[in-house]
Amino acid sequence: MSLLSGCRACRSENLLTFLPMGDHPLAQAFVPPERRDETQPKFPLDSEVCLDCGLIQVADNVPANYFHHYLYVPSGADTMHRHFAGLADHLVKIAAGGLIVDIGCNDALLLSACKARGARTLGIDPAANLAEHARARGVSVHTDYFGPATADRVREAHGRAAVIVTTNTFNHIGDLHDFMEGVQRLLGDDGTFVIEVPWARDLLDKNEFDTIYHEHVSEFSLLSVEKLADFFGLEVVDAIKLPVHGGSMRVSLRRRGTARPTAVVGEMLRQEAAEGMLRAETYTAFADRIDDIGRRLKAMLGEMKTQGLTLAGYGATAKGNTLLNYFQIGPDLLDFVVDRNPLKHGLFSPGMMIPVVGPEAIEGRRPDVLLVLAWNFFDEIREQQSAFLERGGRFLVPLPEPRLVAREPERDVTIENA
Ligand code: JHZ
Ligand code: ZN
């Protein structure tokens, strides 16, 4: 049974439910101590895929005002500072003095980099708390959800955009057609719309099921972006694969006929179809792999616990909460989860109710093993935590396959069967 009436991108009804994960709390609904005993609302998290365009999606259950106050900022990771500096170089070049609008600008990490390079910028984001951070960086933000009405208001006040960019936001959008209608109204005739999102191909190849949650209602194939764009007279003119967030893509769209698509676009579209992104078996095999990983991971954690080791998590991530809740890894296994973001300290992880504390607990409470819930930043975390590794601590990286990482690289082991 499908909770969606049709594909969010291409409107097809050819949907397959392939990973029914059951009811989950919202992935970033971290719980303050005074609400510990309340029952948390849960919503079905049942992944479906459109077999006509390869868009992986879940029904949009997030309450309407959910994004008005937001806990996540990209600035917590050095990797993202470097990444957005590179993107800013590109955007400023193609904007050529015109307005750059970032939809879902968060704390303006990207736009402040654009501004520093001399660009005219405007952020749009519904999170009032984050707009304050953005303004502190000197970036103006229009605080609202994006859609045709917001697009008209912004266009009236600032004119049309040379570049509209949206990073890790397009996958949060429940009504993609409404959003695209807004883009079409705000984008200049010669403008470029740049989308950065996790790429569904990487999700499938690297078992990244945990990046599916109620905020991430879609995981895009390039095929799905192309089909969606077509409804609005836009076309994909370039696509670049990126390493961030477990594998993403940067897709550039323009009004049809205003630029010739690069060869990469056709090649990537062909590959997606040829490599099974429109075949049911690809998704059922993926779901089987995930369940198998869950069994092995839990067995490993249980075994280490029996040995008397202290276990904790690294990264109070949204994706971590999908993984913890789906695999039922709770405070009986992990004593606490550390995270650098102070907004999350003192709270409990949604569902599993594991306490979140600052990274200093790694030295203070000396866990033996850290389950890496921010596996997308593992290189950065590993570098930072050299003292933990030096004293014999080990990381357990859950995906693509559960793997223990110790100080000497040769002691990395992939557990085939726990
Ligand atoms: P990170 C969020 O997902 C939510 P999450 C959201 N839906 C989205 O789209 C993606 O981001 C982009 C911490 N950290 O980026 C900081 C350390 O503590 O994987 C963050 O809280 N130490 C908007 O939550 C978390 O890990 C470190 O050294 O899954 C990483 O969160 C580093 C590098 C990070 O996103
Ligand atoms: Zn579709």
The dihedral formed by the CA atoms of 20, 24, 27 and 28, expressed in degrees to the nearest 10: 170
Residues with CB under 6 A from ligand 1: 72, 76-77, 168, 215-216, 245, 315-319, 339-341, 374, 376-377, 380-381, 384
* List of the chain residues with pLDDT < 70: 1-2, 61-71, 409-418
- Check residue 417 and give its pLDDT: 46
DSSP 62-111: S-TTGGGS----GGG-HHHHHHHHHHHHHHHHHHTTSEEEEET-TT-HHH
Give the position, in ligand 1's atom list, of the atom nearest the Cα of 376.
19
pTM: predicted TM-score of the whole model, two decimal places: 0.92
Residue with CA nearest ligand 1 atom 9? 168
The SS3 assignment for 123 reads: strand
CA of 409 to the centre of ligand 1 (A): 25
Task: Determine the atom of ligand 1 nearest the C-alpha atom of 344.
Answer: 21
d(CA 33, CA 114): 39
Ligand 1 atom at minimal distance to the Cα of residue 213: 7
Closest-approaching ligand to the CA atom of 15: 2
pLDDT of residue 70: 66
Q: What pLDDT score does 215 carry?
A: 87
Check residue 409 and give its pLDDT: 62
Strand-pair partners of 69: none
Tell me the CA distances in angstroms from 76 to 28, 57, 245, 374, 381, one per residue in order: 15, 27, 13, 11, 11
Contact 146, 182 (CB under 8 A): yes
118 burial type by CB count under 10 A (0-12 exposed, 13-18 middle, 19+ buried): exposed
